[in-house]
Structure 1
């Protein structure tokens, strides 16, 4: 029996995934979580063979959570799900050592097959996504520019970002200018769009 942990914040999608997997005679859903920071504690408690992790989770994104889980529970393999196969996200997943990367609009039967293959130690990656990731390159943004741009993506002003990150508003503006320049954007909104499309945020 393959034990699975599901990490998905959208209740209907998580329920549908769980119901789909429960139809399989050799797969058992042993834990379900809605936030990235819940993945490691739930996995340490339930000891799944495979963690199915959505990238866009609240509090902590799925790739970061998966990278934190690997050293704590090496026997648990990771299958990342995403609504959009962004090249930067695929690259991050590969660099984090994630074994499988599946787009959510794949046919339902592919999920159970991907779980079995991931549990067996095989890589399950869409060839087109991997090619695009390798072609696209790494993020040009520094960690601080990424953090500031991520806050800007939530609609925060420079002053609000400064207060949250304990920086001056001028420093935040400098980081935003750096991000705009490095992404080749016209303004901060364009920089957010480019970085999100690339999977850098």
Structure 2
């Protein structure tokens, strides 16, 4: 029996997934949570074989939770299941220790196959996303450039960003200029949007 933990902030999606998995003779849903903050406690309490995690959740995102689970419960395999088929998310998920990545518009059979594969110690990556990821490549942004773009996306001034990140205004301008060039954008807002679309933030 494959013990599955479900983490998705949308109750309808979470409930539908749980109902589908419970129809499978070899699967049992041992926990359902709607926040990234609840994944760790639920996993420690129920000891799942596979954690099916969304990327964007309140509290902590699925990528941060993946790294936490891989450290706290290394025997638990993580499968990311998200609406956002972004190459950058795939790269970050695999770097955090995920064993697989599927998108929510996949066929049910593909998701069930992915769960069984990662439980068996294999990897599973949505084929279309894998191809797109190879075409797009890895994020060109440094960690600090990504931090600055994230702060810029919230609409603050250069001075606001500098205060928030404990940097000088000149350093912030340099990072923004570099990020704009690397994303081939015209403005910092466009750079932030492109980076978000690619899953680099």
Q: TM-score range by the shorter chain?
A: 0.7 to 0.9
Report Cα offsets for 1:108-160 as digits up to 9, x if no partner: 23322322222122211123322322332221212122122123334444444
Distance of 2:148 and 2:70 partners within structure 1: 27
Contact 1:5 / 1:50 at 8 angstroms: preserved in 2?
Answer: yes
- Which residue in the other structure is 2:105 paired with? 105
- Which residue in the other structure is 2:178 paired with? 178
- The Cα of 1:93 is off from its aligned counterpart by 2.3
SS of corresponding position for 1:24: coil
Distance of 2:31 and 2:154 partners within structure 1: 30
- Which residue in the other structure is 2:132 paired with? 132
Mapping 1:1-201, distance limit 5 Å: 1-201=1-201
- The Cα of 1:170 is off from its aligned counterpart by 4.6
Distance of 1:42 and 1:156 partners within structure 2: 37
SS of corresponding position for 2:5: strand
Question: Unpaired runs of 5+ in structure 1?
Answer: none
Q: How many residues were matched structurally? A: 201
- The Cα of 1:185 is off from its aligned counterpart by 0.7
Contact 2:153 / 2:192 at 8 angstroms: preserved in 1?
Answer: yes
- The Cα of 1:80 is off from its aligned counterpart by 0.5
Check 1:38–1:150 CA distance in 2 against 1; reply closer, same or farther (3 A cut).
farther
Of 32-41 and 151-160, deviating more is 151-160
Contact 1:91 / 1:130 at 8 angstroms: preserved in 2?
Answer: no
Question: Unpaired runs of 5+ in structure 2?
Answer: none
Check 1:172–1:93 CA distance in 2 against 1; reply closer, same or farther (3 A cut).
same
Distance of 2:7 and 2:136 partners within structure 1: 27
- The Cα of 1:169 is off from its aligned counterpart by 4.5
Contact 1:81 / 1:104 at 8 angstroms: preserved in 2?
Answer: yes
Contact 2:66 / 2:97 at 8 angstroms: preserved in 1?
Answer: no
- The Cα of 1:70 is off from its aligned counterpart by 0.8
Q: CA RMSD in A?
A: 2.1
- The Cα of 1:91 is off from its aligned counterpart by 1.8
